[in-house]
Amino acid sequence: HKIHMNIVRSHCLFLCGFLWSLTAFPPCAALGQCRGSSPEQCSRAVAVQRRVDCHPQPGATQENCEARGCTWCTTDVPNAPWCFFPEDSPYGYSLGGNAEKTIYDPNTERFEVPLKIDSPGVAAEDTSYDVEFTDDSSHFRIKRKSTGTLTKNMKKWQSQAIHNMLFMFQPFANLYGVHPFYMCVEDDSNAHGVLLLNSNAQDVSLSPNPSLTFRTIGGILDFYVFLGPTPENVVQQYTEAIGRPHMPAYWSLGFQLSRWGYGSIDVLKETDVQHLDIDYMERRLDFTYDKENFAGLPEYLQELKKAGMHNIIILDPFISKDEEPGTYRPYDLGEEMGIWVNNSDGVTPAVGQAWPPGNAVFPDYTNPRTVEWWNQLCLEFKNVLDYDGIWIDMNEPSNFLQGQFPGCADNDINNPPYIPSISDRSLAEKTLCPDSKTYLGEHYNTHSLFGWSQTAPTFHAVQQATGKRAFVLSRSTFVSSGKHGGHWLGDNFSQWKDMHYSIIGMLEFNLFGMPYIGADICGFNYNTTYELCLRWMQLGSFYPFSRNHNAEGNMEQDPAFFGEEFAKISRATLRIRYSLLPYLYTLFFESHVHGNTVVRSLMHEFTSDQQTRGIDTAFLWGPAFMVAPVLEEASTAIKKHHHTGIK
């Protein structure tokens, strides 16, 4: 089923309620003390599990809640809403006509993500599930025909904001990518997945009802349901719809080394580094190299190639506009071809600030002319630096201002009536104004597609330049980015908890169809320690994308820096990885052809064992190899998991 719904940009609520087994719950007083409104109202209020937030913005009070016609009733249940829709009051959209295929607003055209997904040609009576709408259409439920159920009983309230943003890594914060996809394992061990193909900023809230509430501020509601029934089946079906992951080059499965801040070619030679961060550029200008500090860089890359090594160059998406006319080809050619993201007038380029000196403009990769421009520059630069792959960074797109010069106009596009709970509550924070214009429309709709639209052209340019399978590593991602690139988990910290989080992120991106995934080993920000870095090297030896990388100004953390014993232990773990590369390569082949995960959680293989569902401290390579790393400081053994007997 594809539920296709046109919605109003400024303030939309759509509740996707999986109401397969609603029962009468006790009044809220039985679940948490009720205060506010009158005692009578509170005693008749919607049971806590069934509340739908009527004031998701900050600053809810009883007064402004009741002004919306909603009920105010506090509760001790963590994260449950205090302001909520009355049960007997309809909300959301009213249904008119036949909703079997499409629900739409006939009064306006809405933005649609330009990703073609072919739904299988199965008649409704032949599907393995049913879709049912409630009378007021504010809910719909999806039932698995074989069991009559679809979801398990969620026990917690949890919300997640979705919107690409340059932001330091934090749990539950919106970061670099947008993947509105989830997988759920039901009580009977059947699994399902749901994709909302929508690129606008949105909030997704889970409640113990069980239900999901999607609040998106634009686009359409385009849902796809994947019925498994196993977790692996769900991912296979999902990647069949969005596109199978690319097949990485064999060499890219080796251990890789990088840092921001090497500073000179002499340091590169001492470290045998394979990734070049922005240090190699002349004044941080794309498609240049520093001929003073990195004199001889082209020749050095040739030496690495003769030694059987490969190298990756970084490129950023912003182009300096303040160089002397005729001296900086990327800008001059882009200006001639008219390929920039424009201001709201659709004519003048949007100007912000980033790494290069002066001001910068931003290529619009949704424009076919930009793809020509990028391809041409990547091919030309191959003749300058003989690279093997390209790492595209800062492509949310990042901008060091809040919007471009001279600031964002005060209108409903830049400041809509409802802003999801994204970091800093601004759609323009560290990026461009939402009313900027791209080839596909307003940046309001296309913002989270920027990195996605850059990845495929980069993949094809690298493939053409090298004549071999392409290596592309992108920070910003969207649904189907795995077809053309890999991803690292961004600017993490040298902390024990971040090492643990990396396992969760790695498992998530395998669900998203991006199995070539890893985190910065030993951490990107802060100084690491001997013990943390050694444990992280042991874990990182089993990331599909295995790279040690850290930030400018921090201490060195490559394995050789810590001495002979550290290097010996790291080498031993990496040799296990290298001995298993044929197996890892086969897993990537299975992923590329059939859509399997490469790294998976234990529940993928032990589907009926409910104790495996909470394990996020161990993982599997395919079906046959388990990794259970030490994740706690001052530990020399892995403790028995509190859910299982794993030691």
Is the distance from CB of 197 to CB of 241 less than 8 angstroms?
no
The phi-psi region of residue 146 (left if phi > 0; otherwise alpha if psi is between -120 and 50; otherwise beta) is alpha
- Active-site entry in 53, 323, 396, 508: 396
**318 in Cβ contact with 353 (< 8 Å):** no
| Contacts for 461 with CB less than 8 Å, ≥ 6 apart | 374, 375, 378, 379, 390
Known catalytic membership, residue 203: no
Do 545 and 226 form a contact (C-beta atoms < 8 A)? Answer: no
Retrieve residue 146's tokens: 């074989």
Query: In one letter, which amino acid is 443?
Result: H
* Contact partners, residue 299, CB within 8 Å, separation at least 6: none
Question: What is the secondary structure of 189-246 as a DSSP string?
Answer: S-EEEEEE---S-EEEEEETTTEEEEEESSSEEEEEEE--SSHHHHHHHHHHHH-PPP
H/E element, 168: none
Given the residues 222, 364, 388, 393, the one annotated as active site: 393
Contacts with 397 (C-beta within 8 Å, 6 or more apart), sequence order: 317, 318, 341, 362, 431, 432, 450, 451, 476
| Beta bridge partners of residue 205, listed in sequence order | 159, 213
- Kindly list the strands in the beta sheet with 619-621, ordered across the sheet, starting from the edge strand earlier in the chain: 599-600, 619-621, 625-627
Written in H, E and C, the secondary structure of 459-520 is HHHHHHHHCCCCCEEECCCECCHHHCCEEECCCCECCHHHHHHHHHHHHHHHHCCCCCEECE
Residue type, 340: W
Residue 220 CB neighbours (<10 A): 24
As a whole number of angstroms, the longest Cα–Cα distance in the chain is 81
* Residue 393 bears catalytic tag: yes
H helix runs in 67-131, sequence order: none
Coil/strand/helix, residue 619: strand
Q: Give the list of residues 6+ apart from residue 500 with CB closer than 8 angstroms, or none.
A: 616, 617, 631
Active centre residues (catalytic) = 393, 396
